[in-house]
Amino acid sequence: MRLMAIGIKPGVRVEVLRRGKPGGILHVACGIMEFMIRHDQADEMGVSLVSG
């Protein structure tokens, strides 16, 4: 999976910065790194809502 290849490991916090049109891309951040992922890649991730 691409996220593992760039160093995004299970259990890390990833923040959605912007969402494109439905079915488009997501602009996300993990620490100081920002990147874009497709919705199909995001669907492969387990997601938990973190408030704050």
pTM of the model: 0.72
- Cβ contact 30:14 at 8 Å: yes
Taking only the tens place, the pLDDT of each residue in 32-51 is 889 898 888 777 777 666 66
Beta strands in 1-52 (DSSP E): 15-19, 25-30, 33-38
Taking only the tens place, the pLDDT of each residue in 14-36 is 888 888 888 788 898 988 889 89
Give the angle 16-32-21 at the CA atoms, nearest 5°. Answer: 25
C-alpha distances in angstroms, 40 versus 12, 17, 37, 52? 19, 17, 8, 26
